[in-house]
Amino acid sequence: GTPASKSDRMVTLTIDGKVVTVPEGTSIMRAAREAGIEVPKLCANDMMKAYGSCRLCLIEIEGRNGTPASCTTPVAEGIKVATQTDRLGSIRRGVMELYMSDHPADCPACAEGDCDMVEMAAKVGLTENRYGPNGENHVAPLLHGDTNPHFREQDLSNPYFAYDPAKCIVCSLCVRACGEVQGTFALTVEGRGFESRIAASMDDPFLESECVSCGACVQACPTGALREKTVIEKGMPEWSAVTTCAYCGVGCTFKAE
């Protein structure tokens, strides 16, 4: 969801017919979860401020126009929210279809079931892609040709993880994890629109940037764009344990091979 609100004032609203009372300032996404309703999402989590970039978590509010993002829209007294209408289903499938059409189909993260994006595509009921995998019929590669910014070379400079821009959906979770969780601010979003992409410091390779290799970005990435090298080489571990020390608070993961 999104971070908890600390307000003492409570607000009551209805979501998919369920009445829920939450602190003022809570996002509709978080309130929905309190009511046992999971709204599809790719760019929100409990640790970081909502950003509203993936457009999967859209909802409808009775009497209001449009379909606002539930992660960035706060609750309001007495509103009636719908999270699962036909219109929302169709918008979400359309959004996922565009993501998947500009995404490599041969990603090991998909094969290992380690990709939130593929999970969400299934969750919203996307069963076919009119544009083809790898953007075959997608308008963007036709416009951009070989200069499609999403198909740049991988950055393998860091000894612990790899960054593959082709798999990035620019949700900014890695940028926010780096800044908000770790306090390092090594990552930024460069460019605008279809040209936007993640860059380390002044467009340096990860190893030469301000990156301290804490792994917060890798943990946050909802696709296979940022992956640990051991996972790439050896596959997903059978089990893992997360421990957190006072040094950075990120939580390092120890894995069985």
Q: Which residues sit at the interface with ligand FES, rule CB under 6 A?
A: 41-44, 52-57, 69, 71
Indicate the SS3 state at residue 23.
strand
In the numeric block, which tokens belong to residue 65? 């126009």
| Nearest distance, CB of residue 41 and ligand FES, angstroms | 3
Indicate the SS3 state at residue 139.
helix
Rounded to 5°, the CA angle 217-167-161 comes to: 40
| Nearest distance, CB of residue 64 and ligand FES, angstroms | 17
Rounded to 5°, the CA angle 209-150-234 comes to: 70
Measure the CA–CA gap between 165 and 109, rounded to whole angstroms: 14
Backbone angles phi, psi at 255, to 5 degrees: -130, 145
Give the residue with the Cβ less far from ligand FES, 50 or 187: 50
Give the residue with the Cβ less far from ligand FES, 13 or 44: 44
Give the residue with the Cβ less far from ligand FES, 57 or 110: 57
Give the residue with the Cβ less far from ligand FES, 41 or 176: 41
| Nearest distance, CB of residue 91 and ligand FES, angstroms | 12
Burial label, 245 (beta-carbon count in 10 A; 0-12, 13-18, 19+): exposed
| Nearest distance, CB of residue 137 and ligand FES, angstroms | 25
Cα distances (Å, whole numbers) of residue 155 to 38, 134, 151, 209:
34, 20, 12, 12
| Nearest distance, CB of residue 30 and ligand FES, angstroms | 11
Give the residue with the Cβ less far from ligand FES, 92 or 141: 92
| Nearest distance, CB of residue 28 and ligand FES, angstroms | 10
Q: In the 8-state DSSP scheme, what is residue 179? A: I
Would you give the end-to-end CA distance of the chain in angstroms?
A: 31
Give the residue with the Cβ less far from ligand FES, 30 or 150: 30
CB atoms within 10 A of CB 200: 24
Give the residue with the Cβ less far from ligand FES, 33 or 41: 41
In the numeric block, which tokens belong to residue 11? 């607000």
| Nearest distance, CB of residue 2 and ligand FES, angstroms | 8
